[in-house]
Amino acid sequence: MRKGLQNLENAENNSYKIIAVDDEMGIVDSLSIFLKRTGYQFTGVTDPMEAVERVRNEHFDLMILDFIMTPYHGDQVVEEIRKFNKDLYILLLTGHKDLAPPLETIKRLDIQGYCEKSDKFDQLLLLIESGIKSIKQMNEIKNINNELKDTYEKLEKAYLESIETLRYTVEAKDIYTRGHSERVAEYSVLIGKKLGLSDDDLKLLHLGGLFHDIGKIGVPDSILQKDSKLTDDEYSQIKQHPNIGVHILSNASIFKDILPMVEHHHEKYDGTGYPSRLAGNDIPYLARITSIADSFDAMTSKRSYRDSLPMEKVISEFERCRGTQFDPELDDLFLDIIKNDFSSIQKIMQK
């Protein structure tokens, strides 16, 4: 039976085309053996400029790219590719973490991830599997957008259905987070109403809350469900979920206004958050609201590694993180809701 499942998985992998670029033929050969055994369609190239032309003239779903190559480094190759192809999912290989390109370059060129070279390919395979999940979801949304763009009504219907499907897919990965996105959406709207925001902003807060964690579809289940402390590499993969979420949703124009919330709900007011280390008012306003709602639900929900926190502890955490993790004005407003309008929060908590 296990062999049958493996054959089925390999058959599914065979629909995805991967191109690897490395100026060391030995690395290309090793990747060829490894990935073909896993079922992927594989193309190996040692000449960086040949790789650019192959991508220009053929369809590939994912690229594995060495950073230090001659005569062109990996970031130069990506620079050329991004001029005509914005969709290719790119994983960068480095000989050492210290040799990786700066974060600004990775973000600007939309490189989805990188890992160190190793004799074993376990870490790379995890990144590839995460990438393929993201590509699959992105393609599904593209298909919905292309097939139903003839009328707004059909697109709106498909959009609402896709929200539920994708949200349930993410939350089904971990029983402890079921209902999380819906509660974050409702807490966000509650804060927005207290602020007197417009109906359009309240709608965006609701949709942003529902979709804020959609990028976790690209994080391995073994990491999401781990009941002990994450390793640095595992935490690095978790931190990719805002970028993965944006990558998934950015191909459908109907999602464009919620992308700032999806991308920046883990930024911190003092600039120590991720993925962009934005600070203060540089963090999109609605994302600052989503951050508070997300953190509150995380604190008040049971997890595999701890029980829900008592409300006095939650209050002390929001007081402690005022102006560091959270916008101080929004923090004050939310603390006021907890202390003086707790019944409105309690209704959401019970869902």
62-66 and 41-45 beta bridge pairing: unpaired
Digit-coded pLDDT (tens) for 322-346: 999 999 999 999 999 999 999 999 9
How many Å separate Cα 204 from the centre of its chain? 19
Say how far apart CA 88 and CA 65 lie, in whole Å: 12
- Name the strands in the sheet holding 62-66, side by side, starting at the edge strand that comes first in the sequence: 41-45, 17-21, 62-66, 89-94, 113-116
CB atoms within 10 A of CB 229: 8
What is the overall mean pLDDT for the chain?
Answer: 85
Band of residue 36 on the pLDDT scale cut at 50, 70, 90:
confident
- Tell me which of 69-78, 245-254, 336-345 is least confident: 245-254
When pLDDT is averaged across residues 281-288 and rounded to a whole number, the result is 98
Band of residue 8 on the pLDDT scale cut at 50, 70, 90:
very low
**Are the CB atoms for 178 and 167 separated by under 8 Å?**
no
Annotated catalytic residue, options 133, 216, 256, 339: 216
Digit-coded pLDDT (tens) for 13-26: 778 999 999 988 98
When pLDDT is averaged across residues 201-228 and rounded to a whole number, the result is 87
According to the 3-state scheme, what is the secondary structure of 7-35? HHHHHHHCCCEEEEECCCHHHHHHHHHHH
Fold of 2-132: Rossmann fold (3.40.50)
More confident residue, 286 or 175: 286
**pTM recorded for the entire structure:** 0.62
To the nearest 10°, report the CA torsion of 138, 139, 143, 149.
Answer: 40
To the nearest 10°, report the CA torsion of 242, 247, 249, 252.
Answer: 160
More confident residue, 147 or 226: 226
- Tell me which of 68-82, 107-121, 267-281, 288-302 is least confident: 107-121
CB atoms within 10 A of CB 335: 17
Q: Where are the domains of the chain?
A: 2-132, 150-349
More confident residue, 146 or 249: 249
Say how far apart CA 23 and CA 72 lie, in whole Å: 10
pLDDT at 159: 62
pLDDT at 174: 60
Pick the CATH number of 150-349 from 1.10.3210.10, 3.40.50.2000, 1.20.140.90, 3.40.640.10: 1.10.3210.10
When pLDDT is averaged across residues 243-248 and rounded to a whole number, the result is 88
Active site residue 154: no
User: Which of 180, 166, 129, 173 lies closest to 16, judged by CA?
Assistant: 129
pLDDT at 217: 83
Type of residue at 148: L
To the nearest 10°, report the CA torsion of 95, 96, 97, 101.
Answer: -50
At 112 the three-state DSSP class reads coil
Q: Where are the beta strands (DSSP E) in the chain?
A: 17-21, 41-45, 62-66, 89-94, 113-116
When pLDDT is averaged across residues 42-50 and rounded to a whole number, the result is 92
**Are the CB atoms for 137 and 217 separated by under 8 Å?**
yes
